Amino acid sequence: MPETITSRDAARFPIVASCTLLGLYLFFKIFSQEYINLLLSMYFFVLGILALSHTISPMMNRFFPANFPNKQYQLLFTQGSGESKEEIVNYEFDTKDLVCLALSSVVGVWYLLRKHWIANNLFGLAFSLNGVELLHLNNVSTGCILLGGLFIYDVFWVFGTNVMVTVAKSFEAPIKLVFPQDLLEKGLEADNFAMLGLGDIVIPGIFIALLLRFDISLKKNTHTYFYTSFVAYIFGLGLTIFIMHIFKHAQPALLYLVPACIGFPLLVALAKGEVTEMFSYEESSTPKEVPRASKEETIEADKKEK
């Protein structure tokens, strides 16, 4: 079930993020970096496999042959007995899901043994996609509060201190995408990287996803605000890279992404006279689960189609 972020959550988020970041910084200063990263590697190894498996599953279904022996399974954990029995985990999966899990495990072992940048980025992209899927903003005002607060957070911790850069460089986990700057010279063994934190993808991403749902709510069969914010994100990211290249210094990406992702759609809304509609658009804080066909119904539908 997606979790909806309210305005109160959005206001608290930069404070919680700052405490977490400072806590990690102190951990790296006090304790051995080697042991901390060993624990984090194991933790993200498990999370990364599950996230990547969930991400590639819809795409991989296209490659399975029609006669693939697909069996259904159910993982059920309960607590208590009789009338007090409570479900803790109730997860349905099939053989195709197990194949995706096995493929993801190969990437996980590759990451655990080599810490290769490609494996890191595969896990990072999986985390980002799952984050955008599972985190929803309830309205545009909440999105502005969240982005505005993290704008200040990012600028302060990058320009005001060395905390953000120190943690990002010390933290050997797929919480960032890395881009090899010496790829042409060293190929896949490149070791000089530029970094983009997953927060710089997920936070603007959930705002862009909100604007897509707003587009759909207008029932005009256009995705104007989605495309505008998407182009704005690309522009902001390009500007970040350009400034970083000019000044040779780490840049807070949200410094450029936030004005672009909020400003561009707002200008479009002003031009179209839809500012009121944009800020009055509201999503339920308890989103309804989208009904999905059961495994049996899906199999039956596939048989009929064949």
For 179, residues 6+ apart whose C-beta sits below 8 A from its C-beta are: 193, 194, 195, 196
Conformation bin of residue 137: beta by default, left when phi > 0, alpha when psi is -120 to 50: beta
Q: Which residues of 107-138 are buried (b: 16+ CB within 10 A; e: fewer)?
A: bbeebeeeeebebbbbbbbbbbbbbbeebbbb
Cα distances (angstroms) measured from residue 101 to each of 48, 52, 93, 297: 10, 8, 11, 23
- Cα 115 to the center of its chain, rounded Å: 20
Q: What are phi and psi of 111, to 5 degrees?
A: -65, -45
297's tokens:
């119904």
- In angstroms, the CA 22 to CA 163 distance is 7
- In angstroms, the CA 33 to CA 35 distance is 6
Q: What are phi and psi of 180, to 5 degrees?
A: -65, 125
Q: Is 80 exposed, middle or buried (0-12, 13-18, 19+ CB in 10 A)?
A: exposed
Catalytic residue among 94, 97, 200, 215: 200
Catalytic residue among 9, 94, 154, 215: 154
Task: Give me the amino acid identity at 10.
Answer: A
- In angstroms, the CA 202 to CA 133 distance is 10
Instruction: Mark whether 154 is an active-site residue.
Output: yes
- List active site positions: 154, 200
